[in-house]
Amino acid sequence: MSLESARTFLAEKAPDVTIVELDQDSSTATLSAAWNIAPAQIAKTLALRIGDRTLLLVACGDSRLDARKVKAVFGGKARMVPAEEATALTGHPVGGICPFGLARPLPVYLDVRLTAYAEVVPAAGSTRHALRIDPRRMAALVGGQWVDVCEGSVGLDPPSLGVMAAVVPGTSPRPSEERPSVAQRRPDESVERGVADNRA
């Protein structure tokens, strides 16, 4: 699995996309510096558990999850899947997790902030491999759904956001509430803290 499964997936569905081998691990900081791109253009893939459901969320490298938005869209609180389990589920090592060539089918969601960029850089099943791709094309390749679950305003015209407001099947929309301050949040309640510094 891992790099080879991502390579096989792309060879079949997007043969023009090139996987690049890196000189060092593909963290948000190293990739943005090496490729001269904004940290937000690094498309990190998070393996999340919400209730008894497991899903992948692709988001900008500097984004943090908004607990209120996550609850409104997914119907519950998000927690990071433990590293060893995330690797078993995706077939990719932590630091190289991507939505391509997964070991088992998982629902894939993408935060709409990615659409601010013509190209983003996700990992490619390895901590030392990555690729450039239009985020809209990435969503189409993996059958992903656009959602708005990260902090901050989107800053895009609403018509360009497509299904960003869609509620995940099996859940119900929740009324929006004022987000608690950082001081009101407990670190064990959600994964919004530190997400910007951890690229799965």
pLDDT in tens, 66-96: 999 999 999 999 999 999 999 999 999 999 9
pLDDT higher at 53 or 27 = 53
In this structure, which topology does domain 3-174 adopt according to CATH?
YbaK protein (3.90.960)
User: Is pLDDT of 188 > 50?
Assistant: no
153 pLDDT band, cuts 50/70/90, is confident
pLDDT higher at 137 or 27 = 137
User: Is pLDDT of 123 > 90?
Assistant: yes
Answer yes or no: are the C-beta atoms of 104 and 56 closer than 8 Å.
no
pLDDT higher at 34 or 192 = 34
Q: Which two tokens stand for residue 134?
A: 């239009």
CA distances from 185 to 52, 73, 172, 189 (A): 23, 19, 24, 7
3-state class of 11 per DSSP? Answer: helix
Selection from 11-25, 29-43, 174-188 with the highest mean pLDDT? 11-25
Residues 6 or more apart in contact with residue 153 via CB below 8 angstroms: none
Residue boundaries of the structural domains of the chain:
3-174
pLDDT value at residue 33: 76
